[in-house]
């Protein structure tokens, strides 16, 4: 009889039928992801594992284990510069422009250090890297480069394929499955700089709970909400439910809609409009309130202030923004 592969136990745990299967423990999830990232798993096993997880959806305990193993596979420096805000960007936009990029730059221009990481671009969506390129801001060449830039200039963007080529290769399997895998969730939770606060947007509301509880298990501060297009961007047309973990305390609150009438889908998706809005050359009420509203959510958590104070501060930041800041970041 052929000896059972060491990874088979994890597939068996997830796929042993309606009555025999169960979720992985945090330790099992960490060990399983460690084997995957070490190249100790056969391709057919990886596919089975990912899709079994996709069907049942990962638990907070599994997610915490996966993230721990994923971080261990990344060459993170022992000494970190003390970044304020980790901003994950993995969905891409197709109805509205990625206004959240200006939110991140707005915070950065007022002294808050931001490390954004996300997709390398491409496909039928507009990604952060596309918006940043239009602003003249290039992605960092390595994690060390991104950390240095975020500390010195308060903003840096790192592409996921540079941050973790191994996880990117798993994410690239999506066209073969026709479904997302847990890697899309893991990527959002990575926080490679160990920033003080992780800022995350998701598309499916059901993931709010798993992100929040996984952050609690990891002992980290997080803001997570259903963002426009799945990005960490407040849609000013809708009320926004925000989950947080701050100093070990979990909370949930609703931010009200900023407009009484919903705006139509953006037909052009012209990223050059971001720089023009930043410089005050065009008026776009949806874009402007997306920027200010998103920044307010981050400021409330970063500065531990009230919702009203955060919205006033975000507006003040916008009105006093440094028009030349993107050039200085580039």
Domain boundaries, the chain: 8-72, 85-329
Distance between start and end Cα atoms, the chain: 61
| Confidence check: pLDDT of 33 > 90 | yes
Q: Band the pLDDT of 291: cuts 50, 70, 90.
A: very high
pLDDT at residue 29 greater than cutoff 80? yes
| Angle 8-178-183 from CA coordinates, rounded to 5° | 55
pLDDT band at 67 (very low <50, low <70, confident <90, very high): very high
What CATH code would you report for 85-329? 3.40.1030.10
Flag whether pLDDT at 1 surpasses 70: no
Predicted confidence (pLDDT) per residue in 211-264, tens digit:
999 999 999 999 999 999 999 999 999 999 999 999 999 999 999 999 998 998
- Asked: is 8-72 a CATH 1.10.645.10 domain? The reply is no
pLDDT, position 126: 95
Tens-digit pLDDT profile for residues 163-199: 999 999 999 998 998 888 899 999 999 999 999 999 9
Task: Please report, for the chain, how many H helices and E strands are present, in that order.
Answer: 17, 7
Question: What's the rounded Cα separation, in Å, for the pair 189 and 22?
Answer: 23
Question: Between 330 and 53, where is the model more confident?
Answer: 53
Mean pLDDT (the chain, rounded): 95
What is the pLDDT averaged over residues 122-148? 94
Structure tokens at 76: 């993170």
Q: 195 — phi, psi (to 5°)?
A: -60, 160
- As a whole number of angstroms, the distance between CA 229 and CA 219 comes to 28
Two tokens, residue 133: 């390129």
């Amino acid at each position: 009889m052929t000896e059972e592969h060491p990874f088979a136990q994890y597939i068996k745990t997830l796929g042993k039928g309606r009555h025999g299967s169960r979720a992985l423990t945090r330790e099992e999830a960490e060990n399983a992801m460690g084997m995957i990232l070490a190249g100790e798993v056969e391709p057919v096993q990886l596919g089975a594992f990912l899709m079994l997880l996709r069907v049942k959806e990962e638990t907070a305990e599994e997610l915490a284990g996966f993230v721990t193993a994923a971080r261990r596979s990344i060459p993170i420096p022992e000494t970190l510069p003390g970044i304020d805000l980790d901003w994950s960007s993995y969905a891409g936009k197709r109805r509205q422009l990625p206004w959240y990029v200006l939110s991140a730059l707005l915070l950065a221009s007022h002294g808050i250090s931001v490390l954004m990481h996300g997709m390398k671009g491409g496909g039928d969506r507009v990604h952060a890297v596309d918006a940043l390129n239009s602003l003249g801001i290039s992605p960092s060449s390595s994690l060390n480069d991104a950390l240095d830039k975020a500390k010195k200039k308060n903003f840096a963007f790192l592409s996921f394929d540079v941050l973790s080529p191994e996880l990117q290769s798993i994410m690239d399997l999506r066209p073969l499955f026709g479904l997302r895998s847990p890697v899309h969730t893991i990527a959002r939770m990575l926080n490679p700089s160990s920033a003080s606060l992780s800022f995350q947007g998701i598309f499916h509301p059901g993931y709010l709970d798993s992100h929040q509880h996984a952050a609690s298990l990891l002992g980290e501060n997080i803001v997570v909400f259903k963002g426009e297009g799945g990005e960490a961007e407040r849609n000013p047309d809708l009320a926004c439910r925000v989950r947080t973990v701050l100093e070990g305390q979990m909370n949930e609150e609703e931010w009200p809609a900023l407009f009484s009438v919903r705006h139509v889908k953006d037909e052009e998706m012209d990223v050059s409009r971001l720089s023009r809005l930043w410089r005050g050359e065009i008026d776009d009420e949806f874009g402007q309130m997306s920027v200010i509203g998103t920044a307010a959510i981050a400021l409330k958590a970063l500065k531990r202030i009230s919702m009203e104070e955060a919205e006033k501060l975000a507006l003040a930041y916008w009105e006093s923004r440094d028009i030349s800041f993107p050039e200085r970041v580039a």
